[in-house]
Amino acid sequence: MGFTVEVKENDGLRSLHFGSAWMQGAMRIDSPFDLVFEYTRVMMAALLLREGDFPKKVLLIGLGAGSQTKFLYKHRPAAHLTVVEIEPKVVTAAKESFCLPDDPVRLEVVVGDGVAFVYQTEQHFDLIMVDGFNDHSHPGDLNTLPFYKACRERLSEQGVLAVNLIGLSDGVKGGFVFIESAFEQRAVRFPRCASGNTIAFAATGAPIDIPLEELQERAAKEDAGLALSLMLDRLATLPDCAEGRLRI
């Protein structure tokens, strides 16, 4: 049986499905560049971890409905985006049904395997976002120690990695152990989203050491509909943030 990609609409929400009721991506038709799912907004907390014109170069593994790609395209107009998606039908759906911009100067879409791309590329990126799954919602070789080590090698001196670790239970580290190992413990898991997604961040270069109050201020200044206030409040419950600071 071949890979099935379906697009559905209901009450102004257009959604992407891989042959099941499980949404692989979604877009509000009247606001196509907004982020529908909480976990995608939490992944964008990566933008708060560095100051200045961060990021200049972004690699996204997994396209889906293109939500995160479109968000970065709109809110980081100086950044160059490279997206790697293994399934051509997903790329077609994103272009035809989810308003993925056609801008080869700022946005490069590569049809291929994300793991192979990271292993083979000689480029460096300020931000790498990993949100790739097959039709069984499994990340496969994306969630391995060698892959995360390769991601670290492909990050710039001020690089940040953001990963969607779906399906982790409370108290279960799962693939986060690989991220911790690859980045020599310079990693943190945010509290689990209501959907069950757990977002992890890791960093290279200068240490990240930000008061939680300042994170809230940076989120408010983004003015991009991230709605991260409640999630950032929950950071105070993490052992890594016990002193009121996020350190990576």
CA angle in degrees (0–180, nearest 5) for 233-236-239: 150
* CB-CB neighbours of 7 under 10 Å: 16
- The candidate with the shortest Cα–Cα distance to 27, out of 68, 60, 62, 83, is 68
Contact 205, 54 (CB under 8 A): no
Cα pseudo-dihedral 46, 49, 50, 54, rounded to 10: 10
Element (H, E) at 76: none
Contact 226, 218 (CB under 8 A): no
The single residue of 11, 131, 170, 223 carrying the catalytic annotation is 131
131 is an active site residue: yes
Give the span between the Cα atoms of 185 and 208, in whole angstroms: 13
Give the span between the Cα atoms of 151 and 119, in whole angstroms: 8
Catalytic residues: 131
